[in-house]
Amino acid sequence: MQNRYAEAGESYRIYAGSNTAASIDETTGMMLSAGHAFCKVNQGGTDATIGYSSGSKFWSSSYLPIPEYVSWCDTFGKKIVNGKLEVKTNTNYDRLPIPTGISKYSKDNLIENLYVLPSEQCKGYGTKLLKYAEEKCQGIPKLWILSNNNAAKNLYVKHGYTFTGNVKPLKSELQELEMQLIR
């Protein structure tokens, strides 16, 4: 799984075994996202091992003639872009964030789930996403960051956010800290 808060470059944690989901607690779910995954699928009575990455790559261990492989890719591609499909495993994997498009706007002006992959940071994407979210707020924008996420803190302070003093304790020494925009 990919560490969403790596200070320099990409950072991954590898989980392997028959019940890796059990090791994902609430804090882990906030700090990691699915980087690369391999899993077994069954479609039409045929088992296959597939893999995917957070970089939008998808692969399989299946050996198929090219026309069948293209059809197989089309089938999964349609599922990937279908925003109405809700992916649920009923395991702790559901604690990991799944990127989604903005489809509704919070009336309480809370900006949530604004993440930029470490490999794409320092390219202006975070600023563009933040400005877009701020435009949709009807009042003073607020957000929460993990206390150990210095990159997020620096971004928000640079754009006029300050700490409100509200704190949500998590596990051990980790906390969520509330920030709001000072206009």
Give the three-state DSSP class for 62: coil
How many whole angstroms separate alpha carbon 37 and alpha carbon 15? 10
Looking at the structure, tell me whether residues 59 and 125 fall in a common domain.
Answer: no
- Band (98; pLDDT cuts 50, 70, 90): low
> By residue range, what is the domain housing residue 170?
110-181
Q: Is the residue at 100 inside a domain? A: no
- Angstrom distance (rounded) from CA 99 to CA 27: 18
* pLDDT reading at 75 higher than 90: no
Residue 157, pLDDT score:
96
In a domain, 76, yes or no: yes
CATH number of domain containing 131 = 3.40.630.30
Per-residue pLDDT, averaged over 65-85, amounts to 76
Which of 31, 63, 95 finishes a domain? 95
Number of structural domains found in the chain:
2
**What pLDDT does residue 36 have?**
66
Please tell me the distance from the alpha carbon of residue 108 to that of residue 2, in angstroms, as a whole number.
Answer: 30
| 90 and 114, same domain (yes or no) | no
- Whether residues 85 and 143 share a domain: the answer is no
For residue 178, how many other CB atoms are within 10 A of its CB? 16
30 pLDDT more than 70? no
Mean pLDDT confidence for 63-88: 75
What number is the average pLDDT over the span 97-126? 72
| CA distance between the termini of the chain | 37
Q: Single out the residue in 95, 130, 151 at which a domain terminates.
A: 95
- DSSP letter at 112 equals -
pLDDT of res. 136: 80
